[in-house]
Amino acid sequence: MARRQAPLDNGAIAERLDAFAVLLDLAGSERYTARAYRRAAETIRETRAPVADLVRAGRVQDLRGIGPGIAKRLRELVETGRIAELDALEQSVNPELVGLGRLLGIGPQRMVEIGNALGVRSVDDFREAARAGRLRAIAGIGPKTERRVLERLEGPTRRERRGLLLNRARALVEGIAESLGGEPAGDPRRWADSCRDLAVVVASDRPQEVLRSFEELAAVVAVVEREPRRAVGVTVEGVPIELVVAEPESFGRALLRATGTKAYVDALGPLPAAADEAGVYEALGLPWCPPELREEPFRGRPPALVELGDVRGDLHCHTTWSDGRASVLEMATAARDLGYEYVAICDHTRNVRVVPGLDADDLRRQADEIAEANEQLAPFRVLRGTEVDIRRDGSLDLPDDVLEELDWVQLSLHAGQREAAEPLTRKVAEAMRHPAVRCLSHPRGRIINHRPPNALDLEAVFEVALETGVALETNGLPDRLDLSGPEVRLAVEAGVPIVASTDAHSVRGLGNMRLAVATARRGWATAADVVNTRPLAEILSS
Ligand SMILES: [Zn+2]
Ligand SMILES: [Zn+2]
């Protein structure tokens, strides 16, 4: 990791803290320490006042998430231009080798041991030693492990890599693209719900300079492949990121290729060179295709997909009344500041148990708080809502009289996701028939990388949705994105309305609308298919 003497603006300070977090992770220190530094870096990036001034005035701990430990290191950084502990860590940890270890599936401690035993400190030397058959001589490495390491050194297969959540993948490629003046590409550009191929494409006549800047990024701990116009770097988590430096005249072609999917790109045939993507499509005689639709071969004219700017409100978010981190007024103010017309407060009900839930009395007390927020924020409208649990027997976890008072009722199943298709579908269908219900939340109940989708019979649910007017949600939580793109497409084809909501548990969480909308777009949804592109009057009257 190269050290640049940048002026200590907030961005530079945040970058140092991020670098520190990376090294703490690599050193195998307790995860929460590294996370605290990352969060502090985030806060500093979002702070408008110069943080160096706050440090000098002894006021930096006024900022959220900055305790005495981090404040002390910030003082050192502002006074001396460096953090001694960071320098020492960098010496002892050897980020490059540890990053390579993560890619190869070898833990940090073990990787450092292996590096010492081989007497190597760089990726190139490690590769050379491995190819020369020297791994076998190391205690604990048998022929099987050696073969696996050699194979992965030549490029791990997609199957071996676990996908990165979309929010993290977007943040990574967006950050790198911004630093290098390029464009995000790969799976995150198509807003894939789990990202394996991450790429950034830069247009430049000076590839050497771009490659050098890439290697110096805090996010890139090791570079495992290097060619004249291409490199593969690895993040601290062992996630490979491909960098392509295209000649400016053929940037469009390189971007299209790096965005994928391979099936989609291959089906286009030989790609003409062009400075931008529009030029490539034009030369092919095809209409431009939004990245979200580039999953399978497609040469037609895409529909006018829903856009973030079409969204008029968020219909699913939480507050401190249940497991959210912000008050009704804070969430509502943030939603208004996003340019929305309305937001629905949908806290949990009692049945959820693992987090605080509301009963009828709580909801009526919450009504007062919502009324106050409405007074302050008018004409913006805070809707009284709930995320009501479906009980084991298919009944709703709130009495009818309170359900009827509410403006927006989200329906949710939080337990029993492993139930067989028939009883599960019957229960959900029964609950959807309650006249107060407006939308079914995260219908498949999946948690990406942790829990597969439930067995819900979507066809049957679509039928009930059409009959009752209940919409289906595409949930913007990065580990849910539920319905998924392909499922949204089935719903849209069946004529079932979609709601794109965030399920935000914090002000920041409201920003996940872009993930919900992208997922709806991956399902070919137009604004007309998405309920929360409609004005408030229509939401209240239907
Ligand atoms: Zn939920
Ligand atoms: Zn929720």
Give pLDDT tens digits for 378-434: 999 999 999 999 998 889 999 999 999 999 999 999 988 899 999 999 999 999 999
Determine the Cα–Cα distance for residues 542 and 529; give it in Å rounded to an integer: 15
What's the DSSP call for residue 285? T
Ligand showing the shortest atom-to-Cα distance for residue 504: 2
Domain 161-293: assigned CATH number:
3.30.460.10
- Distance, CA 499 to ligand 1 centroid (Å)? 14
Ligand showing the shortest atom-to-Cα distance for residue 502: 2
- Distance, CA 432 to ligand 2 centroid (Å)? 17
- Distance, CA 522 to ligand 1 centroid (Å)? 22
Is residue 2 scored above 50 in pLDDT?
no
Ligand showing the shortest atom-to-Cα distance for residue 354: 1
Ligand showing the shortest atom-to-Cα distance for residue 512: 2
Question: Does residue 265 contact residue 233 with C-beta atoms inside 8 Å?
Answer: no
Ligand showing the shortest atom-to-Cα distance for residue 352: 1
Determine the Cα–Cα distance for residues 241 and 220; give it in Å rounded to an integer: 8
- Distance, CA 206 to ligand 2 centroid (Å)? 48
Determine the Cα–Cα distance for residues 131 and 127; give it in Å rounded to an integer: 6
Question: Does residue 458 contact residue 487 with C-beta atoms inside 8 Å?
Answer: yes
- Distance, CA 301 to ligand 1 centroid (Å)? 36
- Distance, CA 321 to ligand 2 centroid (Å)? 12
- Distance, CA 316 to ligand 2 centroid (Å)? 6
pLDDT of residue 198: 96
- Distance, CA 346 to ligand 2 centroid (Å)? 7
The pTM assigned to this predicted structure is 0.84
C-alpha closest to that of 75 among 60, 64, 93, 94: 60
The top-scoring range by mean pLDDT among 101-110, 145-154, 345-354, 368-377 is: 368-377
What is the token pair recorded at 357? 């839930």
The residue behind tokens 């509301």 is: 358
Question: Does residue 468 contact residue 437 with C-beta atoms inside 8 Å?
Answer: yes
pLDDT of residue 1: 40
Is residue 374 scored above 50 in pLDDT?
yes
Q: Find out whether the peptide bond into 379 is cis, omega within 30 degrees of 0.
A: yes
Please report, to the nearest 10 degrees, the dihedral formed by the alpha carbons of residues 11, 12, 15, 19 taken in order: -170
Examine domains 10-92 and 161-293 and report if their fold is the same: no
- Distance, CA 486 to ligand 2 centroid (Å)? 22
Paired with 386 in beta bridges are 409
Taken in order 102, 107, 111, 114, the sign of the CA dihedral is negative
156: left (phi over 0), alpha (psi -120 to 50) or beta: beta
pLDDT of residue 156: 59
Ligand showing the shortest atom-to-Cα distance for residue 386: 2
Paired with 202 in beta bridges are 245
What is the token pair recorded at 159? 């199957």
Ligand showing the shortest atom-to-Cα distance for residue 315: 2
Pinpoint the alpha helices (H) of 338-420. Answer: 360-377, 400-405
Please report, to the nearest 10 degrees, the dihedral formed by the alpha carbons of residues 289, 294, 296, 298 taken in order: 10
- Distance, CA 317 to ligand 2 centroid (Å)? 6
- Distance, CA 347 to ligand 1 centroid (Å)? 9
Question: Does residue 487 contact residue 520 with C-beta atoms inside 8 Å?
Answer: no
- Distance, CA 189 to ligand 2 centroid (Å)? 27
The residue-averaged pLDDT of 235-259 equals: 94
Amino acid identity, residue 314? D
pLDDT digits (tens, 9 = 90+) for 495-512: 999 999 999 999 999 999
- Distance, CA 357 to ligand 1 centroid (Å)? 11
pLDDT of residue 3: 42
> Which SS3 state, helix, strand or coil, does residue 134 take?
coil
pLDDT of residue 439: 98
Is residue 7 scored above 70 in pLDDT?
no
pLDDT of residue 151: 86
Paired with 244 in beta bridges are 201, 230
Cross-sheet strand order for the sheet of 240-246: 183-186, 198-203, 240-246, 230-234, 222-227
Q: Where are the domains of the chain?
A: 10-92, 97-154, 161-293, 308-541
Q: Which residue has the higher pLDDT, 283 or 223?
A: 283
Determine the Cα–Cα distance for residues 87 and 91; give it in Å rounded to an integer: 6
The top-scoring range by mean pLDDT among 234-243, 266-275, 354-363 is: 266-275
Report the DSSP pairing between strands 198-203 and 183-186.
Answer: antiparallel
For helices 166-180 and 207-216, what crossing angle results, to 10°?
A: 130
Is residue 157 scored above 70 in pLDDT?
no
- Distance, CA 197 to ligand 1 centroid (Å)? 29
CA-to-CA dists, residue 13 to 173, 198, 257, 276, 321, angstroms: 21, 26, 36, 35, 36
pLDDT digits (tens, 9 = 90+) for 302-311: 999 999 999 9
Please report, to the nearest 10 degrees, the dihedral formed by the alpha carbons of residues 507, 512, 517, 518 taken in order: 160
What is the token pair recorded at 113? 């041991």
The mean pLDDT value of the chain amounts to 92
The residue behind tokens 């990202």 is: 195
- Distance, CA 325 to ligand 1 centroid (Å)? 15
Ligand showing the shortest atom-to-Cα distance for residue 413: 1
- Distance, CA 169 to ligand 2 centroid (Å)? 23
Determine the Cα–Cα distance for residues 539 and 417; give it in Å rounded to an integer: 30
Amino acid identity, residue 528? A
pLDDT of residue 5: 46
Radius of gyration of the chain (CA): 26
Q: Which residue has the higher pLDDT, 279 or 30?
A: 279
Contacts 24+ apart (CB under 8 A), 278-285: 278/252, 279/252, 280/252, 280/253, 280/256
Pinpoint the alpha helices (H) of 154-202. Answer: 166-180
Q: Cα-flanking dihedrals φ and ψ of residue 251, to 5°?
A: -60, -40
The residue-averaged pLDDT of 36-51 equals: 88
The residue-averaged pLDDT of 481-504 equals: 98
Cross-sheet strand order for the sheet of 313-317: 313-317, 342-345, 381-389, 408-412, 439-440, 471-475, 498-501
Is residue 4 scored above 50 in pLDDT?
no
Ligand showing the shortest atom-to-Cα distance for residue 322: 2
The residue-averaged pLDDT of 33-44 equals: 88
- Distance, CA 124 to ligand 1 centroid (Å)? 48
Architecture of domain 308-541: Alpha-Beta Barrel (3.20)
Q: Cα-flanking dihedrals φ and ψ of residue 474, to 5°?
A: -110, 115
Is residue 30 scored above 80 in pLDDT?
no
pLDDT digits (tens, 9 = 90+) for 75-128: 999 999 888 888 888 777 777 888 888 888 887 778 888 988 898 988 889 999
- Distance, CA 442 to ligand 1 centroid (Å)? 7
- Distance, CA 171 to ligand 1 centroid (Å)? 24
- Distance, CA 292 to ligand 1 centroid (Å)? 26
- Distance, CA 394 to ligand 2 centroid (Å)? 19
pLDDT of residue 154: 79
pLDDT of residue 159: 55
Taken in order 81, 58, 90, 12, the sign of the CA dihedral is negative
CATH topology classification for 10-92 = DNA polymerase; domain 1 (1.10.150)
Amino acid identity, residue 461? V
Report the DSSP pairing between strands 164-165 and 194-195.
Answer: antiparallel
Paired with 501 in beta bridges are 475
The top-scoring range by mean pLDDT among 100-104, 146-150, 186-190 is: 186-190
Determine the Cα–Cα distance for residues 217 and 386; give it in Å rounded to an integer: 44
pLDDT of residue 161: 65
Taken in order 453, 454, 460, 463, the sign of the CA dihedral is negative
